[in-house]
Structures are given as C-alpha cells and as structure tokens.
C-alpha cells in the first residue's frame, strides 16, 4: 500500500493491522513516491516489511512481492508448527479454535474439542529415556494426522498433551473418533533395547454450546480430561 491514501495514511493502516494477532505474519509492502528516509523508516517501524519507491516497473513490483510472500509463507510454517511433531503449536491451535468458535456462533454447527494426555509419560522417560518419550509423542502425532479428516486440526498443547478441533462433529461422534485412535495407540508395541512396552492416553471431550466462549470450551474439555485421569486413566470422559 501507499503511504499517502485518502481517509488514512499507510502508516496508520499498518499500525492498526499489526494490533491484530491473526495478522502478525502478514507481509506489508509500501509502494510510494516518498523519498524521505525518515518517513520511510516510520513506515517500516510500525510494521512494514519492505519499502519500494515509485516509479517502479511491473516486473520489479511483481518479483518483490512474490519473494516477500514466499519468504513469509516459509516463516509462517516454521512459526506455527511444533518442531517435534509437525502439528500446530499451542498458540496457533488456539487461534484456529477461536476462528471456529466465531464461525459456529455466526452459523450454528456442531463443534467438539478434545484434550489428550499420554498416561504415565514421566515413567516412560524415566524407564526408557527421553528419546523414547519423544518417539511416543511423535507416534501419537502421526496417528492423529492419519486418522483425522482434513478439516479437523490437531495440535501439541504442551509436553505430552495434545488437542483436537473436530469440525461438524457432535459429542457422540467425537468420542467415537478419539476412542478409535486410543485403541490403535494402545495396541502399538514400542521396543527399547531388549524391552517392549506400550502406552495409553486419557482424553476429555467437550461440545460447543451457543454463547460458549473459546476459553469456556477449553476449560470444559480440560475438566473432562482430569476426570478421566482421576477415574484411572486410559479412558475418555465428556
């Protein structure tokens, strides 16, 4: 965008855009006749990523924007994914859930949210070492990727805890999905040296209700997870 525009300046517009967390990674390129270095730096200081000066050829503009967009897509992928599992990280999972809650608030539809926690994970690390613990985490992550639909999203919530956003899914259907994944996961035999072991997980699932906020949905699923833990683990509560 230009620095000089009717209604507001480009600097003002960039400043507003950067106040929204969902647009943090959006590249902003200024294209202007402004030649003053101070004004150019002001534009970059509020969140601009590049400053191109008019006049400019079409090919120069196209190449500059293409390069910037490609780099930001690559950076966005790195910033949004958990490095160990390749799933969404904590903050980006919550951003996705926030958008889905806003969507079903406008256009009512079934939406379920599941919290998953690997049982006795500390014992796996203590008995077989942290590399084995990482292997168990990556195995569950691959299982979630392969068993969920493309429209569903799984993320690593932290440590050995995962979360799943199940779109257009009732509580009953959500339980069936997570139960199937739980059964497959518990059947996997891990080998560490001469030893073999298996792992299980507990899960809590909550369904969105009208007027429920994202935070309330997370709390409901988290409370269901704690209930599953307290009842003996390796089970699902709602």
Known catalytic residue at 160? yes
The residue to which tokens 């926030």 are assigned: 98
CA 42 to chain centre: 32
Sign of CA dihedral 238, 188, 159, 181: negative
Rounded Cα gap, residues 219 and 187, in angstroms: 30
Options 12, 160, 161, 223, the catalytic residue: 160
Rounded Cα gap, residues 83 and 104, in angstroms: 30
Total Cβ atoms within 10 A of residue 29? 16
- Cβ proximity of 225 and 202 under 8 Å: yes
Sign of CA dihedral 227, 228, 229, 230: positive
Active site residues: 160
């Amino acid at each position: 965008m230009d620095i000089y525009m009717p209604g507001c300046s480009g600097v003002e517009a960039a400043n507003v855009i950067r106040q929204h967390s969902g647009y943090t990674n959006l590249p902003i390129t200024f294209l202007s006749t402004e030649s003053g270095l101070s004004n150019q730096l002001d534009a970059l200081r509020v969140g601009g990523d590049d400053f191109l000066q008019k006049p400019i050829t079409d090919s120069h503009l196209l190449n500059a924007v293409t390069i910037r967009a490609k780099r930001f897509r690559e950076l966005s992928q790195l910033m949004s994914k958990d490095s160990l599992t390749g799933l969404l990280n904590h903050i980006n999972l919550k951003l996705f859930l926030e958008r889905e809650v806003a969507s079903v608030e406008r256009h009512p539809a079934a939406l379920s949210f599941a919290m998953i926690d690997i049982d006795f994970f500390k014992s796996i690390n203590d008995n077989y070492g942290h590399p084995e613990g990482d292997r168990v985490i990556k195995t569950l992550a691959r299982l979630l990727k392969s068993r969920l639909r493309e429209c569903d999203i799984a993320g690593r919530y932290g440590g050995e805890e995962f979360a799943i956003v199940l779109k257009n899914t009732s509580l009953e259907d959500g339980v069936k999905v997570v139960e199937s994944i739980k059964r497959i996961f518990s059947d996997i035999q891990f080998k560490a040296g001469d030893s073999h072991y298996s792992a299980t997980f507990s899960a809590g699932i909550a369904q969105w209700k009208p007027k429920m906020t994202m935070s309330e949905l997370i709390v409901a699923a988290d409370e269901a997870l704690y209930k599953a833990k307290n009842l003996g683990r390796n089970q699902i509560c709602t």
